Structure formats: structure tokens, C-alpha cells
Amino acid sequence: MPKSSNDRVLSELKRNKNKGITHWDFPSGFALRSRIADLRSRGYQILTNLERNADNKGNHARYFLMKEI
């Protein structure tokens, strides 16, 4: 059975606990920020770090799972 989008993000957060995840870890158009909001509303503590893009023309978010429920 396919995983839900939230389950997929949670799985990636757990797997990449030390490095975190960004939108580049998912297909184009994937609503990562919304999935992070969903997980937070379920009680997961997720840290957001803003990082400069490689081209220095903007920022992106890197998410870390801090505490599971």
C-alpha cells in the first residue's frame, strides 16, 4: 500500500535525522511546507533552518525532526 504524503515526509525526516530534508529531496511540485505543517499539527516537533541557495539569490528551508510523538 502506498504511503501518504505525510508518512513519506516523516519517513524521510527520520532517515535523515542529522542532515535534515529540503524540497529538493522530493519531486517538483511536492507541497513539503504543507506536509511539515500537517506533521506539526499532529504533535511532531520539527525545526526549520533557513539556508542560502547555492546561487545566493534566495533562501530555502531545511527541516529537522526534533521530537516524535
pTM metric for this prediction:
0.90
Determine the Cα–Cα distance for residues 44 and 13; give it in Å rounded to an integer: 11
Q: What is the 3-state secondary structure (H, E, C) of 1-65?
A: CCCCHHHHHHHHHHHCCCCCECHHHCCCCCCHHHHHHHHHHCCCEEEEEEEECCCCCCEEEEEEE
Q: What is the pLDDT of residues 6-59, one digit of tens each?
A: 999 999 999 999 999 999 999 999 999 999 999 999 999 999 999 999 999 999
Burial class of residue 21, CB neighbours in 10 A (0-12, 13-18, 19+): buried
